[in-house]
């Protein structure tokens, strides 16, 4: 099989993992705290690891990882309905990995996909169990329909954080050296934390997190990547500072100020890194 075709198939897998991550996190945030929510979040983290492994494989083959999100199953008005959709998502993933394992003739790629397939088969069993458990325990969607200045700020923050998670991950895979790669991935993890904090705050305020992203920078040169990353961090730090100043909610003010401080730290990290990179 041609290398370009293998990259194409792996990128399909990446897009599927991306969709699963967001689908599962949407369900976690809307369910609130609880044992099952924690277990589903752990599954989402495993899907993140799958995405990372697949993106590394694409990069080693000379390709560019796809950060297009695959199709999510968003129907369902109850937690039981969500879990049924998650079962279907895992069944789709299993079928696709099985097909790709048969199609790809490179042993190390097949081994990777077989490893991921094993996890997906385990996840399928988990979600079948959660479908039954959700009904027995009467689990409900605890998010609300509140729409005001506070929820607009929170959804803006969620959109930004989701965007830069993708942007920094892409830049990490295209980085010319290990130092830049590690820094980009570290900051992506930090931005993922921010997304979680904001989504949880949204639910606590009676709103519903909207996890969508805007355009990500797709520069290929390290200096261009870091210039874009510095620019967006400066812009967003200013927005968080303004929002923190305007809110009367002390807990929200504290959260927004904390995230602003992290973003300013990222500016310093990226600025220092830019001085050292060689194309």
pLDDT band of residue 9 (cuts 50, 70, 90) is very high
Which architecture, in CATH terms, is 3-137? Up-down Bundle (1.20)
CA distances from 125 to 36, 131, 221 (A): 14, 10, 43
DSSP character at residue 76? -
**C-alpha to C-alpha distance for 17 and 11, rounded to whole angstroms:** 10
Give the start-end residues of each E strand in the chain.
Answer: none
User: Same fold for the domain at 3-137 and the one at 149-274?
Assistant: yes
Burial of residue 220 (number of CB atoms within 10 Å: 0-12, 13-18, 19+) = exposed
What CATH number should be reported for the domain whose range is 149-274? 1.20.1260.10
Q: What is the pLDDT of residue 279?
A: 63
Burial of residue 55 (number of CB atoms within 10 Å: 0-12, 13-18, 19+) = buried
**C-alpha to C-alpha distance for 98 and 169, rounded to whole angstroms:** 27
**Domain locations in the chain as residue ranges:** 3-137, 149-274
pLDDT digits (tens, 9 = 90+) for 43-94: 999 999 999 999 999 999 999 999 999 999 988 889 999 999 999 999 999 9
Helix 3-31 × helix 178-204 angle, to 10°: 30
pLDDT digits (tens, 9 = 90+) for 221-252: 999 999 999 999 999 999 999 999 999 999 99
């Amino acid at each position: 099989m041609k290398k370009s075709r293998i990259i194409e198939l792996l990128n399909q897998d990446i897009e599927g993992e991306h969709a699963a991550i967001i689908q599962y996190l949407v369900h976690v945030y809307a369910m609130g705290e609880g044992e099952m929510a924690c277990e589903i979040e752990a599954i989402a983290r495993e899907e993140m690891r799958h995405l990372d492994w697949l993106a590394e494989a694409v990069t080693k083959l000379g390709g560019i990882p796809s950060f297009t999100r695959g199709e999510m199953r968003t129907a369902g008005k109850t937690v039981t309905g969500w879990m049924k959709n998650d079962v279907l998502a895992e069944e789709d993933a299993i079928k696709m990995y099985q097909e790709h394992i048969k199609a790809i003739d490179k042993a190390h790629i097949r081994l990777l996909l077989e490893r991921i397939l094993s996890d997906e088969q385990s996840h399928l069993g988990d979600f079948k169990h959660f479908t039954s458990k959700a009904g027995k325990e009467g689990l409900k969607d605890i998010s609300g329909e509140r729409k005001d200045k506070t929820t607009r700020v929170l959804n803006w923050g969620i959109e930004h954080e989701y965007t830069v998670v993708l942007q920094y991950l892409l830049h990490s895979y295209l980085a010319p050296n290990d130092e830049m790669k590690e820094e980009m991935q570290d900051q992506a993890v930090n931005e993922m934390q921010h997304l979680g904090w904001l989504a949880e705050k949204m639910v606590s305020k009676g709103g519903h997190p909207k996890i969508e992203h805007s355009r990500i920078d797709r520069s290929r040169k390290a200096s261009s990547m870091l210039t874009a990353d510095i620019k967006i961090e400066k812009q967003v730090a200013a927005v968080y500072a303004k929002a923190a100043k305007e809110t009367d909610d002390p807990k929200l003010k504290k959260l927004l100020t904390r995230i602003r401080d992290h973003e300013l730290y990222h500016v310093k990290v990226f600025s220092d890194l830019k001085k050292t990179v060689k194309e």
